[in-house]
Chains A and B, each alone.
Chain A
Amino acid sequence: MTYVDKPAIPKVVKFDEPNAKLRNKLDVMLNTGSDIYQGACKKRGSTLKDEYRKVAGVAYMDPKDMAKLGVSNWDHVKVISDWGEVVVNAAHSRDAPHEGTIFIPKGPWANVVVSPETYCCCDPTYKGIMCTVEKTDDDVLLMADLMRAVYKKYVKDEEGIKDLATLGEMPVYKKL
């Protein structure tokens, strides 16, 4: 098997931070970029699958930050920036410690919250975005559903998006 159904993430057991208060919302800095699991899954072509949601729709966080929010691996968090908001999985980062920063691998989920501002030099600002993270019960959307919910290109009734059936994990098109 050249791919995994989800990334290997450390399980950090120690949750109690003696000095930290549990809080609902955390101000953090967001970085995005490539990650080997995301890269392998994307280029293999499996972007509709649950696998892609697990490798790209995930925020890698410092264990201390996760303790402050009271979330554990694969709990859902909502990331909100000036440019949008998106629900992703939370996971312990294998590069910790980096308290106060989170990392979302590049992909449709990260795109919703990064800044398109290029400062006149062609390249959007994908790193160093100020955002907040909070715990949520909402689901992390599959890629096709996310594209539909965020960009609404072919949706007639924009209010009713929430009630539409999921597009699923396989290509949907009319055959001849």
Chain B
Amino acid sequence: MANYEPPVTDYDSIVENCTCAFCGCNCDDLDYLIKDGHVVGVRHACRLGASKIMEDMDQRLMVPMIRGEDGELAETDWDTALDKAAELIAGAIRPIFYGWSETSIETMHHGLELGELVGAVLDNQATICHGPSLQAVQNAGYPISTLGEVKNRADMCLYTGSNAMNSHPRHMARYSTFPRGYFRPRGRFDRTVVTLDPKYSDTAKMSDIWVGFEQNGDYEFYNAIRAVLKGKKLQKEFISGIPKEDVEELAEAMKNVQFGALFFGLGLTHTLSKQRNIDIAIQMVADLNSYTKWILMPMRGHFNVNGFNIFMAFETGFPYGVDFARGYQRYMNGETNTIDLLTRKECDVFMVIAADPGAHYPGGAIKHLAEIPVIQVDIHWGPSTEIADVVLPGSFVGVEVGGTSYRMDGVPIWMKKAIDKPESCRDDEWIIKELLERVKKIKAEQGALASK
């Protein structure tokens, strides 16, 4: 048994109904316990949410910094740091503004204007996680519902390529599996949980059915289910390592529910067939809908990664990887996405806002970041700080500053402010707005010079 941890009783005030700023579940029922202007306890959050909100102040970025000739970061004042960043951005030929998923829609708004002005590529974490899902949605449709509907109606929840217990710990508890819903009064007992995953993951351990097909077997497996749904006989004895009788049994079970929800994660997007896996999963859901109601939802990782895609799709028509180099928006998979631009060594200035490419990009892409100037706007000292040349400390959306975010099912949620930010930090929104002003000024000067 783990050590018992007594509840936190030493606090000054409680701020109720805060929204968690971690994963795409955007749990909006958290209570923060505040003492001396710091969050000392979080109620209702999972381990992930609580650990992020009760952050490690040792590594909080407190002051703007610029890297000197000797390769060491040195503290500086806001004016100098912003001027330096603006100068880099204004002088860039192929800048990328990457990140945005852990900041507010309000910040993205100014970011988009800045991107348009300098002809940048705007991209977010979808490019390394659910990008293929968005492509598949463009190919094959988007049979989605809200999580509230899942909670009230679903009698089968199917997780595929997603380890919800590790990456969205309250997803099952709050939206899909355990809560009592209007038509599911007994909660967990009224639902069947299925996990499709090569690994016997923590989510699989909690499921009624675990189908452990082979690695990279997703595409074949969904196709087999589709074939069975269409009344075909399976020719092979084993489909991706699963006996064909089991495939038929699963297809039959999926047909005979009242409302099924399929949640898929990076297990589908990161294996070899990438967006084709999701194409086929969407078509499987379409096939199932000729028997009963099924929906499908990507398990989005960051609390506002969906927000950026919705915001960009609304503003520019494309969800991510939007290239303004020609003065108007273009979107071309494999060409205007961050990883491809970096491995082709095209980018010459990289700005990262509320993201950590140092921790999440493949080494082959980071190698190019080591050759070009990197501007970082973030709240913690992370792997990206080790390769950053200008560091601008932002503030914590959902704790120190309010903002809008979109949950994984596309429901917008206002995240409120609970405590004050450290005095030397600035809001992300203010930083991007300042950069925009300064870049405009530089461009105007250049324009005046050129006309002379």
Interface residues on B, range: 35 or more
Identify 22 residue pairs between A and B in the complex whose beta-carbon atoms are under 8 Å apart, listed by A's number: A2-B54, A29-B215, A33-B267, A40-B51, A43-B48, A46-B59, A83-B362, A95-B200, A98-B198, A108-B359, A111-B359, A111-B366, A118-B337, A120-B340, A121-B333, A122-B127, A123-B131, A123-B132, A127-B215, A128-B216, A155-B71, A174-B68
A31 and B135 CA atoms in complex are apart in Å by 23
A33 and B48 CA atoms in complex are apart in Å by 15
Complex contact B339–A172 (CB within 8 A): no
Contact residues of B between 357 and 395, Cβ < 8 Å to A: 358-367, 369-371, 379-383, 385-387
Q: In the complex, which residues of chain A have a beta carbon less than 8 angstroms from the beta carbon of B371?
A: 153
Complex contact A44–B54 (CB within 8 A): yes
0/1 interface trace, chain B 107-127, chain A, CB 8 Å (1 if under): 000000000000000000001
CB distance from A134 to the nearest CB of B (A): 19
Residue of A39, A114, A174 touching B72 (CB-CB under 8 A): A174
Interface assignment of A36: CB less than 8 Å from any CB of chain B: yes
A98 and B50 CA atoms in complex are apart in Å by 31
Interface assignment of A176: CB less than 8 Å from any CB of chain B: yes
Which chain B residue shows the least CB distance to A114? Answer: B362
Q: Would you call the interface of chain B mostly helix, strand, loop, or mixed?
A: mixed
* Stretch of A9-17, A19-27, A68-76, A140-148 that contacts chain B: A140-148
CB distance from A176 to the nearest CB of B (A): 5
Residue of A111, A112, A152 touching B360 (CB-CB under 8 A): A111
* Central interface residue in B42, B131, B215, by most chain A CB within 10 Å: B215
Complex contact A47–B383 (CB within 8 A): yes
Complex contact A124–B128 (CB within 8 A): yes
Complex contact A153–B387 (CB within 8 A): yes
Residue of B67, B76, B366 touching A176 (CB-CB under 8 A): B76
Contact A36 to B165, CB < 8 A, known contacts A121-B274, A153-B370: yes
Contact residues of A between 22 and 70, Cβ < 8 Å to B: 29, 31, 33-36, 39-49
A124 and B383 CA atoms in complex are apart in Å by 19
Which chain A residue shows the least CB distance to B385? Answer: A171
CB distance from A22 to the nearest CB of B (A): 26
Which chain A residue shows the least CB distance to B76? Answer: A176
CB distance from B202 to the nearest CB of A (A): 7
Q: A123-B128, A126-B362, A174-B72 are in contact. List 6 more A-B contacts (CB 8 A).
A: A2-B50, A35-B166, A36-B47, A95-B204, A107-B383, A111-B366
A127 and B55 CA atoms in complex are apart in Å by 30
CB distance from A23 to the nearest CB of B (A): 22
Complex contact A175–B366 (CB within 8 A): no
Interface assignment of A89: CB less than 8 Å from any CB of chain B: no
0/1 interface trace, chain B 319-346, chain A, CB 8 Å (1 if under): 0010000000000011001111001000
Interface assignment of B56: CB less than 8 Å from any CB of chain A: yes
Q: Identify the A interface with B (CB < 8 A).
A: 1-3, 29, 31, 33-36, 39-49, 83-84, 94-98, 101, 103, 106-108, 111-116, 118-128, 143-144, 147-148, 150-156, 170-176
A164 and B347 CA atoms in complex are apart in Å by 30
Complex contact A84–B52 (CB within 8 A): no
Q: In the complex, which residues of chain A have a beta carbon less than 8 angstroms from the beta carbon of B382?
A: 42, 45, 47
Contact A123 to B129, CB < 8 A, known contacts A44-B51, A98-B199: yes
Closest 4 CB pairs of A and B: A154-B71, A116-B364, A120-B334, A45-B380
* Central interface residue in B200, B333, B362, by most chain A CB within 10 Å: B362
Q: In the complex, which residues of chain A have a beta carbon less than 8 angstroms from the beta carbon of B313?
A: none
Complex contact A46–B56 (CB within 8 A): yes
A119 and B72 CA atoms in complex are apart in Å by 37
Complex contact B383–A147 (CB within 8 A): yes
Q: In the complex, which residues of chain B have a beta carbon less than 8 angstroms from the beta carbon of A98?
A: 198-200
Interface assignment of B275: CB less than 8 Å from any CB of chain A: yes
Which chain A residue shows the least CB distance to B337? Answer: A122
Complex contact A116–B199 (CB within 8 A): no
Residue of A43, A103, A124, A152 touching B22 (CB-CB under 8 A): A43
Residue of A49, A113, A118, A148 touching B340 (CB-CB under 8 A): A118
Complex contact B59–A171 (CB within 8 A): yes
A144 and B315 CA atoms in complex are apart in Å by 38
Contact residues of B between 164 and 212, Cβ < 8 Å to A: 165-167, 169, 198-202, 204
Q: In the complex, which residues of chain B have a beta carbon less than 8 angstroms from the beta carbon of A48?
A: 59, 381
A106 and B125 CA atoms in complex are apart in Å by 14
Interface assignment of B266: CB less than 8 Å from any CB of chain A: yes
Complex contact A83–B363 (CB within 8 A): yes
Complex contact A121–B131 (CB within 8 A): yes
Complex contact B362–A115 (CB within 8 A): yes
Q: In the complex, which residues of chain A have a beta carbon less than 8 angstroms from the beta carbon of B51?
A: 2-3, 40-41, 43-44
Interface assignment of B257: CB less than 8 Å from any CB of chain A: no
Contact A44 to B52, CB < 8 A, known contacts A35-B166, A83-B364, A123-B127: yes
Residue of A96, A121, A152 touching B334 (CB-CB under 8 A): A121
Residue of B68, B165, B200, B270 touching A126 (CB-CB under 8 A): B270
